[in-house]
Amino acid sequence: SAWAGLLYPRTSQSREVQLLDGMWNFRIDDSPNRNAGFEQRWYERSLSETGQVIPMPVPSSYNDITEDGRIRDFVGWAWYDTEFFLSSDWANKRVVLRIDSAQYNAIVWVNSKQVMTHQGGHIPFQAEINQYLTVLSDGPNRLTVAVNNTLTPHTIPPGTIDWPAKDSPIPYPPNYFTQTLQMDSFNYAGIDRHVSLYTTPKSYIDDITITTNIVDTTGIVNYRVVTVGDIPQGDITVRILNKTGAIVGQGGGSSGTIQIPNANLWWAINTNSLHQPGYLYTLEVHTGQDVDADVYRLPFGIRTIKVVGRKILLNNEEFYFKGVGIHNEAEIRGRGLDYAMIVKDFNLMRWVGANSFRTAVFPFSEEWMDQADQQGFLVADEVPAVGLNSLDNLSNQTLQNHMNAMSELIQRDKNRPSVFLWSVANEPRTDRPESLPYFQKIINFTRSLDPSRLISFMCNHDFNTDKCVHLVDLIFINRYIGWYTQTGLLDLIQPQLKYDLDQWAETFNKPLVISEYGAGTMPEIHRVPSTVFSEEYQIDFLSRYHRTFDSALGNLTGEFIWCLTDFNTYQSITRVNGNKKGIFTRERQPKMSAFNLRHRYLTFNNTD
Ligand code: GCB
């Protein structure tokens, strides 16, 4: 459930972790009513006994693993299973099954018994499964997961399922339907992050919340520990360790404040050469001294983020976002977790000199976010609320799912120093008076969950048409002058963009950030003078944006280029093998524009 803790599985004196990643059995249910799996109870036996299976890597999206278009474009229940044994040492421990992400609906069985369900991708969900582990010491346990990627007008993100009209004179294959997406990106599906088992003692630490403040040179660390079971308040002890492992602060009880004199603050990379980026402390919680006490170590950083007038302050210093928009995916594994790709993408960001990124248009993996904390990137953390295009999408049911998505994301990422912003949506329908109550509710709700961070949405409307932007802490606008509008008309970019930026700044008097600007670019297409889709056009386009940004500096507090790398989309005539606005290809090689952005970001000096 949304309110229970989602602490990342970590080993300690009291906790073990067993990854269930690997090759699982897999089958799509493409039976006529897409319901054979439930009718025939595939969860009661091994999937290999009820039909054909193929090997499927976990974690990975399943779509691009095979050569079968029915699997790539499948809509419905995809079935997975695997078997595992447990050490008999685990007999007296609490055993939790955690799935870090499954797109979109998931039902999970252990040894034929349903143990949990979850709605919404890109967020972990977990359940205690001791009572289902009937064969703890002498038999394999079977784990079955059914995942359904169907998007409806009320899911986050929304989509529609369309059937041909019953009396259509135009022929269709039997049982034919289509899934229409309301987002640019391909709807990758499956179990795309780790699946793990971990143990805790029977009485355990369920959740920890840390907020920080700075007074002069002293770091103020407020902590709150939630435990479950028989743990007297007075038994809880808390220590803060610095990077070298020395104890620099101590406390006791389930909540309190610890002061750290001369604290090492958490700073962003590529911002000010005097500051060491990404400094992390560890909060170490013990629930007692006994052998059955629980121990959990949570990394955290000490930093503040504030809006003052039109400026953003990180640790009371003015901050400018040298940002990149990222749509985190890659060939073959789709949105599947891949350590090599995480490090590669961070290396690309370091190489271009970025100091921040946006997780467009869904929450990235916890392993990815750990790197942001450690390397010092500020993160605009976004829920998958992309494509809330119509007032129909803004229903009570959507709001419920949207609130769930917000609370789960905040539960997962609330202790990350890298996260400065909760992005509640990308390009939603906010230009209608009827939209206002919906966005008031989602923004107020988000603020009630975490008043310590900023809140916004990525806006594609105009300063004089948007009806909700006054609700946000800082304004993010997606702009495509010279691409989607005024296509190819480079000379219009500077005057029209400058006018636009000035109007936004003057109308709202809040910090203003460009959250997307970019041009589709096919690597190796060269044209002088430039034309759309050539590498030269991307450079001409970007340099006009950059000149405008520089001439609007007082009104602008950052820029997030769209986007870091090319990515897969649904098929359309505006996309040639996916979205090509990357400054790097999908294979992570630079287009010419990457060198330009690198030059800009590495020589940009307004805060150093
Ligand atoms: C947008 C969307 C993003 C798209 C991008 C594009 O405005 O926010 O999801 O990928 O434009 O390239 O069209």
Helices marked H in 307-435? 339-352, 366-375, 396-413
Element (H, E) at 505: helix 493-508
460 Cα–ligand 1 center, Å: 10
Q: Helices 436-449 & 396-413, crossing angle to 10 degrees?
A: 20
Give the pLDDT confidence score for residue 1 in this predicted structure.
42
Q: Is the Cβ atom of 540 under 6 angstroms away from ligand 1?
A: no
Residue 19, token pair as written in the block: 């990854």
Q: Write the pLDDT tens digit of every residue in 358-412.
A: 999 999 999 999 999 999 999 999 999 999 999 999 999 999 999 999 999 999 9
The residue whose C-alpha atom lies closest to atom 9 belonging to ligand 1 is 184
| Amino acid symbol at 302 | I
**Ligand 1 atom nearest to 460, measured from its CA:** 7
Per-residue confidence at 608, pLDDT binned at 50, 70, 90?
A: very low
606 — pLDDT class (breaks 50, 70, 90): low
Best residue among 579, 580, 583, 586 to mutate for probing ligand 1's pocket (most ligand atoms within 8 Å of CB) is 579
> 304-361, pLDDT tens digit by residue?
999 999 999 999 999 999 999 999 999 999 999 999 999 999 999 999 999 999 999 9
- Say how many Å lie between the CA of residue 516 and the centre of ligand 1: 8
Q: What mean pLDDT do residues 121-149 have? A: 91
Options 2.40.30.170, 2.60.120.260, 3.40.50.1110, 3.20.190.10; CATH of 17-149+187-199: 2.60.120.260
Q: Which atom of ligand 1 is nearest to the CA of 427?
A: 8
Q: 478 CB under 6 A from ligand 1?
A: yes
CA distance 418 to 300: 9
427 lines ligand 1 (CB under 6 A): yes
Q: Identity (one letter) of the amino acid at 575?
A: R
What digits encode the pLDDT tens for the residues 260-287? 999 999 999 998 889 999 999 999 999 9
Q: Which residue has the higher pLDDT, 156 or 89?
A: 156
Task: Indicate the average pLDDT of the chain.
Answer: 96
Nearest to 43 by CA among 146, 133, 132, 118: 146
579 φ, ψ (degrees, to nearest 5): -85, 125
Tell me the CA–centroid distance for residue 184 and ligand 1, in Å.
6
Q: Is 587's pLDDT higher than 90? A: yes
- What pTM does this model have? 0.97
Could you tell me the distance, in angstroms and rounded to a whole number, from the CA of residue 387 to the centre of ligand 1? 10
- Å from CA of 162 to ligand 1 middle: 24
Which of 479, 483, 522, 562 for a ligand 1 pocket mutation test, highest count of atoms within 8 Å of Cβ? 562
Report the topology of domain 202-303: Immunoglobulin-like (2.60.40)
Do the beta carbons of residue 514 and residue 559 sit within 8 Å? yes
Q: Which of 181, 184, 484, 569 to mutate to test the pocket of ligand 1 (most atoms within 8 A of CB)?
A: 184
Tell me which CATH homologous superfamily contains domain 307-603: Glycosidases (3.20.20.80)
Query: How distant is the alpha carbon of residue 235 from its chain centre?
Result: 36
Ligand 1 pocket check for 294: Cβ under 6 Å: no
Ligand 1 atom nearest residue 458's Cα: 8
Gap from CA of 433 to ligand 1 centroid (Å): 24
Residue 345 confidence (pLDDT): 98
Q: Tell me the C-alpha distance between 81 and 99, whole Å.
A: 13
Residue pLDDT, tens place only, 545-575:
999 999 988 899 999 999 999 999 999 999 9
Could you tell me if the CB of 50 is within 6 A of ligand 1? no
Which residues carry out catalysis?
Answer: 427
Residue 453: DSSP 8-state:
S
Q: Dihedral sign, CA of 470, 473, 475, 476?
A: negative
Mean pLDDT for 204-210 is 98
CA of 509 to the centre of ligand 1 (A): 26
Per-residue 3-state assignment (H helix, E strand, C coil) for 246-287:
CEEEEEECCEEEEEECCCCCCECCCCCCCCCECCCEEEEEEC
Sketch the domain layout of the chain as residue ranges: 17-149+187-199, 202-303, 307-603
**Cβ partners under 8 Å of residue 134, min gap 6:** 111
State in Å: Cα 410 to ligand 1 middle.
24
Binned at pLDDT 50, 70 and 90, residue 477 comes out as very high
Quick one: which of 196, 212, 386 has its CA closest to 283?
Answer: 212
State whether the beta carbon of 521 lies less than 6 angstroms from ligand 1.
Answer: no
* Residue at 58: amino acid letter: V
* Residue 361, ligand 1, Cβ within 6 A: yes
Question: Is ligand 1 within 6 A of the CB of residue 569?
Answer: no
| Residue with CA nearest ligand 1 atom 3 | 184
In 517-605, which ranges are E strands?
Answer: 558-562
Average pLDDT over residues 494-505: 97
